[in-house]
Amino acid sequence: MMTFYKDKAGRVHEVEHEFIHLLPEGCEEITEAVAMLLLKPNEADLKLFEIEKAKAALVDLDIRSIRALREYVAAQANAPAQIKAIELEAIAERVKVK
């Protein structure tokens, strides 16, 4: 049977009786109800999680759009030589992964 413990830092641990010796020093046994209250994320944590998730989505969108933008710009007659050179390098690298 699993039992809940809270360490001195407030972290919750759930262990079977035979593994109690592995807990950090100073842990105290708590009820499952108390453990669930301690483990429930607060509104600030949830907001930070949503912000980090949105940032990761934005980075993914940026990364996915780079190739399309570079291809478009490189195809223009007046595209900078540096962009055209980078596109040629990218084409050469993509051949290696096919």
The whole domain housing 91 covers 43-96
Angstrom distance (rounded) from CA 71 to CA 49: 34
- Assess whether 47 and 10 both reside in one domain: no
Greatest extent of the chain over all pairs of C-alpha atoms, in Å? 73
Angstrom distance (rounded) from CA 45 to CA 34: 19
Number of domains in the chain: 2
Strand-pair partners of 14: 4
Q: In tens digits, what is the pLDDT along the chain, a chain of 98 residues?
A: 899 999 999 999 999 999 999 999 999 999 999 999 999 988 998 999 999 999 999 999 999 999 999 999 999 999 999 999 999 999 999 999 98
- Assess whether 50 and 33 both reside in one domain: no
Helix (H) or strand (E) holding 91: helix 81-96
Hey, which bits of 1-98 come out as E strands? 2-6, 12-16, 28-30
Predicted confidence at residue 24, as pLDDT, reads 95
pTM for this one? 0.50
- Assess whether 64 and 87 both reside in one domain: yes
